Chain A
Amino acid sequence: MAVTGARIIGGDDIERALVKAFEEWTREDVNDKFWKAQFIDRKWKYDGVTVRKNRDTVGPEPRDIYDLGYLYESTSYSYASSTETAEAKWNWDATNASGDEYANYVHEGTRFMPGRPFTDDVSDMAFSFRKPIGKALVSRVQAALRQL
């Protein structure tokens, strides 16, 4: 006869480690690196031409979505955890000359411009542990569990 078994001990410690790894991921990998990469480093397909107030024209060519920086600078972040959940949220509330918020237009596109879905890789839309931002979360979780 052979008998084997397994049990988890210190479940609360494991949970705390996971939550801490998640929070650090949102702050250090998403806030400090991912948004910069999406807004500044990444060049998005864009066929249109933009005419600025000073009559400068931009495009048509791949471009970043940092542009004048208003949308990027409007990023706000909140984090909350409880015994049941840990949740991070981001919001962009930059407004155009008409006073309308335009983050969703940039993200999903309009009749005049293509969408540039800058949150997809960290949202349920297209998150994957195979992407760099997903791998970063795995690394943090593994590191946190190794330290237990």
Chain B
Amino acid sequence: MNITQLRETIVELLSASPNLIGSYTFPNGTSVPAVYVVGQKSVPTEWKATGLEVTMRQYPELLPEAGVGIVSVLQQWEVMIVQYNPDGKEIADAMDRMVRRFPDASLRFTPGDDIAYERCRFVIPDMTIRRLYPGP
């Protein structure tokens, strides 16, 4: 799995009817679904998030183990969902869909308060077998 596949999978999972994903509103008033891949930059502070935000790290943590002519690589992907509207219930449904789609994921839910929004962080394991490089 790569980041494109992970993003597509999660967007499809959480946007299925009823759509759970909130929106980002740019300074010019344009809105887009609140899904962001965190690479060198985090979500721009001038984007206003409403509803449920989904962010994921661009690169997984790679945990290799050598084999004969191959390497097995455990990738750990981190995904975060945050409920920006305190009265929203989307995060509960989103967690339900996530654990059913990624049953081997670990998750940590943090209740909301004056300082932090309600959030749930997932670590999704993904084992891949790769040929040694360089090679076919």
Interface residues of A (CB under 8 A from B): 45, 47, 100, 104-105, 108-112, 114-115, 117, 120, 124-126, 128, 130-131
For the complex, give the distance between the alpha carbons of A125 and B107 in Å.
7
Residues of B within 8 A of A105 (CB): 115-116
Give the contacting residue for B74; candidates A45, A117, A124, A128; CB below 8 A: A128
In the complex the two chains form, what is the Cα distance from A104 to B112 in whole Å? 12
Assembled-state Cα–Cα distance A117/B79 (Å): 13
Q: How far is the CB of B74 from chain A (nearest CB, A)?
A: 6
Q: A110, A115, A130: which contacts B121 (Cβ < 8 A)?
A: A115
User: With A109-B116, A126-B123 given, is the CB distance from A47 to B41 under 8 Å?
Assistant: yes
Cα A45 to Cα B78 with chains together (Å): 14
Which B residues form the contact surface with A (CB < 8 A)?
A: 41-42, 61, 63-65, 74, 76, 80, 106, 108, 110, 115-117, 119, 121, 123
* Smallest CB separation, B83 vs chain A (Å): 11
- Residues of B contacting A109 in the complex (Cβ-Cβ under 8 angstroms): 80, 116, 119
Cβ contacts A to B, 21 pairs, < 8 Å: A47-B41, A105-B115, A105-B116, A108-B116, A108-B119, A108-B121, A109-B80, A109-B119, A111-B115, A111-B116, A112-B115, A115-B80, A120-B123, A125-B108, A126-B76, A128-B74, A128-B76, A130-B63, A130-B65, A130-B74, A131-B63
Residues on the B chain within 8 Å of A112, using CB: 115
CA separation between A46 and B69, bound complex, in Å? 39
- Known A125-B123, A126-B61, A130-B63; judge A111-B42 contact (CB<8 A): no
* Cβ–Cβ < 8 Å partners of B116 in chain A: 105, 108-111
B65 proximity list for chain A (CB < 8 A): 130
Contacts of B64 in A (CB 8 A): 130
Asked if B110 contacts A117 (CB within 8 A), the reply is no
Contacts of B106 in A (CB 8 A): 124-126
Contact B115 A110 (CB under 8 A): yes
Give the Cβ gap from B101 to chain A, nearest Cβ, in Å.
Answer: 18
A121 and chain B: residue at smallest CB distance: B61
Residues of B within 8 A of A45 (CB): 42
* Closest B residue, CB atoms, query A115: B121
A47 to B45, CA, bound (A): 10
Closest approach, in angstroms, between the C-beta of A81 and any C-beta of chain B? 25
Q: Are A114 and B42 interface neighbours, CB within 8 A?
A: yes
Complexed CA–CA distance, A125 and B123 (Å): 7
Q: Which residue of A lies closest to B115 (CB)?
A: A110
